[in-house]
Amino acid sequence: MTELGPFRVSKGGKTLWKNPYAWNNVANVLFLESPAGVGFSYSNTSSDYITGDTKTAADSYTFLVNWLERFPEYKTRDFLITGESYAGHYVPQLAQLILHNNKITNQTVINLKGVAIGNGYYDVEAQNSGTYDYYWTHALISDEIHQGIVSNCNFSSADPPSDACQTYEIQASSAKGNIDDYNIYAPLCSSSSNTPSSINEYDPCSDNYVYTYLNTPAVQNSLHANTTGIPGPWETCNGYIGFNWDDEPDTVLPVIKELTSSGISVWLYSGDTDSVCSVTTTRYALNKLGLSVKTPWYAWYTQGEVGGYAVEYENLTFVTVRGAGHFVPSYQPARALTLFSSFLDGKLPPSN
């Protein structure tokens, strides 16, 4: 409701308006609340809320298999998976499980054709070093703080960071000031500029409108949601789940590498104004994969303007989205739809 869905919530949280750049304009889209406990999803078994990467992939796979049994007319359709942020883990792990199970059963249980991950979290070393380099190259921290981090932090080590490293990390966090880390140039919700005149102007208070709307009893009844009376309100993020995460590999790059050699389409894309899972961290992760370039870096276009930049590697495509933060379809809906449509068509984003 703040990104790629068919509806957005109006200011005040009482009514909806139609998103002209919704991704379901060009594909059948299943929105899966995952893992258990997120959004309106729930379990009657308390141990299900102690979860992690492995269980999340297994649960998502179980859901998909059963959904396709319920709606068999979709079994032969091309199936693609997209996600963002920590879905840098979820998406490749689920794709890997699908491909493995297709081999084990010797039949195409799920007709997986591709994956696309936006502003993903892939590799802890690339994440840490890339984040501070992004801060510095985008003038969020001083030369001195950046040099202090470069000199004192060994992000490739499994050892805890040194006291000096932590001191500079704290300085970096303070130096950035009060900005939206997910979109460093965007206004904050408290700003007076939160009355956008069009879809192309992001409203920083969108999350608040959705919170109000989805906690309205009549809305929950219409959605057949929260029928069990989940304690507490619906929330954008479930912190309890995060505190009970029991497995998280330091890197999923070997899984992504496996996917690139499997024959499916693999796209990674990055909104370039996100500092949380930045374009820099993704590029550092890509460097570790050591893929050869097939189509060199070029500017792609939509609506007569540069939508971002793209490079095609052997069996993997990397695309940036200009002026987009962590949640790409929120900030640049038209560019995001062009990107998604290109992914569906199996073609690089348009060069003119």
Comparison of pLDDT for 209 and 192, the residue scoring more:
209
Distance (Å, rounded) from C-alpha 217 to C-alpha 213? 9
User: What's the pLDDT score for residue 228?
Assistant: 86
User: What's the pLDDT score for residue 158?
Assistant: 86
Comparison of pLDDT for 328 and 193, the residue scoring more:
328
From the candidates 34, 60, 85, 278, give the one annotated as an active-site residue: 85
Give residue 199's pLDDT band: very low, low, confident or very high (50, 70, 90): low
User: What's the pLDDT score for residue 44?
Assistant: 84
**Each residue of 28-78: pLDDT tens digit?**
999 999 898 899 988 888 888 889 999 999 999 999 999 999 999 999 999
User: What's the pLDDT score for residue 124?
Assistant: 96
27-55 burial by CB neighbour count: b if 16+ within 10 A, else e? eeeeebebbbbbbbbbeeeeeebebbbeb
> SS3 for 234?
coil
User: What's the pLDDT score for residue 66?
Assistant: 95
Q: What percent of the chain is modeled with pLDDT above 70? A: 97
**Closest by Cα among 309, 216, 218, 223 to 271:** 309
Asked about 274 being catalytic, the answer comes back as yes
User: What's the pLDDT score for residue 192?
Assistant: 60
Asked about 275 being catalytic, the answer comes back as no
- The answer to whether residues 130 and 122 touch, using CB atoms and an 8 Å cutoff, is no
Q: How far is CA 34 from CA 62, 84, 93, 127, 216, in A?
A: 12, 13, 13, 23, 22
> SS3 for 286?
helix
Name the token pair of 44.
């009657």
Q: Is 197's pLDDT higher than 60?
A: no
> SS3 for 317?
strand
User: What's the pLDDT score for residue 216?
Assistant: 96
Name the token pair of 16.
């909806």
Mean pLDDT of 233-256: 90
Distance (Å, rounded) from C-alpha 186 to C-alpha 4? 19
- Domains by residue range for the chain, with CATH: 7-123+213-345 (3.40.50.1820)
From the candidates 89, 274, 275, 330, give the one annotated as an active-site residue: 274
Q: In this structure, what is the dihedral angle of CA atoms 235, 50, 326, 29, given to the nearest 10 degrees?
A: -80
Q: Is 195's pLDDT higher than 80?
A: no
Mean pLDDT of 22-26: 97
Mean pLDDT, the chain, whole residue set: 94
Residues 6 or more apart whose Cβ sits within 8 Å of residue 61: 94, 97, 98, 101
User: What's the pLDDT score for residue 42?
Assistant: 86
> SS3 for 251?
strand
User: What's the pLDDT score for residue 269?
Assistant: 98
Distance (Å, rounded) from C-alpha 1 to C-alpha 10? 10
**Least confident interval from 38-52, 181-195, 265-279:** 181-195
| pTM given for the model | 0.95
Which residue is associated with the tokens 């179980």? 62
User: What's the pLDDT score for residue 264?
Assistant: 97
Q: Is 218 exposed, middle or buried (0-12, 13-18, 19+ CB in 10 A)?
A: exposed
Name the token pair of 233.
């309100």
- The answer to whether residues 352 and 316 touch, using CB atoms and an 8 Å cutoff, is no
Mean pLDDT of 115-119: 98
User: What's the pLDDT score for residue 160?
Assistant: 92
Q: Is 198's pLDDT higher than 70?
A: no
Asked about 190 being catalytic, the answer comes back as no
Q: Is 72 exposed, middle or buried (0-12, 13-18, 19+ CB in 10 A)?
A: exposed
From the candidates 123, 272, 326, 342, give the one annotated as an active-site residue: 326
**Each residue of 279-338: pLDDT tens digit?**
999 999 999 999 999 999 999 999 999 999 999 999 999 999 999 999 999 999 999 999
